[in-house]
Amino acid sequence: MSLNFNRIEINCVNYEFSIELNSVIYSNFIIPVSTLTNALPKDKVEFYINNGILIEDTNKDNENDNENDNETIKSCATGDPYIITLNNKLYKMANFDGYCRLLQGNLDNKPLIINALLKTVSYEEALQAYESTINIVKNSNINFDSSNFTLEDFQKEAFFRTIYINYENESIIIDMEKLKILDNKSNFSLKLNDNITHNYLKNTKLNHTKRLNDSSLEVKLSTNTSIIISKYANLQVRTGIYIKNNKTIDNAYGPLVEPLNKENYIIPKINFNKFINQHISAKLIGVKTELFYNNYNEEFINEIEIY
Range of the domain at 68: 63-121+157-306
Please state the domain count of the chain: 2
According to the model, what pLDDT value does residue 62 have? 46
Q: Does 52 share its domain with 77?
A: no
pLDDT of the residue at 247 = 84
Residue 72 and residue 50 share a domain:
no
**How does strand 98-107 pair with strand 90-92?**
unpaired
DSSP for residue 277: P
Boundary of a domain, candidates 57, 72, 95: 57
pLDDT given at position 50: 47
Please, are residues 246 and 239 in contact by the beta-carbon 8 Å criterion?
no
Same domain, 194 and 222: yes
According to the model, what pLDDT value does residue 64 have? 45
131 within a domain of the structure (yes/no): no
Rounded-to-integer distance, Cα 46 and Cα 29, Å: 16
Is residue 129 classed as helix, strand or coil in its secondary structure? helix
Residues 162, 108 share a domain: yes
Q: Which among 33, 57, 81 is the end of a domain? A: 57
Residue 49 lies in a domain: yes
**173, 277: one domain:** yes
pLDDT at residue 298, rounded to an integer: 66
φ/ψ of 70, rounded to 5, equals -65, -20
The reply to whether 232 and 189 lie within a common domain is: yes
Q: Are residues 53 and 101 in the same domain?
A: no
Q: Is residue 151 part of a domain?
A: no
Q: How far apart are the first and last CA of the chain?
A: 47
> How far is Cα 270 from Cα 171, in angstroms, rounded to an integer?
11
- Residue 134, pLDDT score: 85
Domain co-membership, 110 together with 220? yes
Q: State which of 25, 42, 57 marks the end of a domain.
A: 57
Amino acid at 196: I
pLDDT of residue 136: 77
- Do 70 and 46 belong to one domain? no
| In-domain check, residue 190 | yes
Residue 270 lies in a domain: yes
% helix / strand / coil in the chain, to the nearest 5? 15, 40, 45
- Determine, yes or no, domain membership for 237: yes
Tens of each residue's pLDDT in the chain, 307 residues: 333 333 343 333 333 344 434 334 333 333 333 333 334 443 333 444 444 454 544 454 444 444 444 445 578 999 999 999 988 889 999 999 999 999 999 999 999 999 999 999 999 999 999 998 888 777 776 666 777 788 998 999 999 999 999 999 999 999 999 999 999 999 999 999 999 888 888 777 787 676 788 999 999 999 889 999 999 988 889 999 999 988 889 999 999 999 999 999 999 999 999 999 987 779 999 998 876 665 566 667 778 899 9
pLDDT at 70: 44
Q: Answer yes or no: do 219 and 240 share one domain.
A: yes
Same domain, 218 and 180: yes
In a domain, 302, yes or no: yes
Are 91 and 18 in the same domain?
Answer: no
Question: What is the pLDDT, as a whole number, of residue 73?
Answer: 59
In a domain, residue 149? The reply is: no
The predicted pLDDT at position 220 comes to: 96
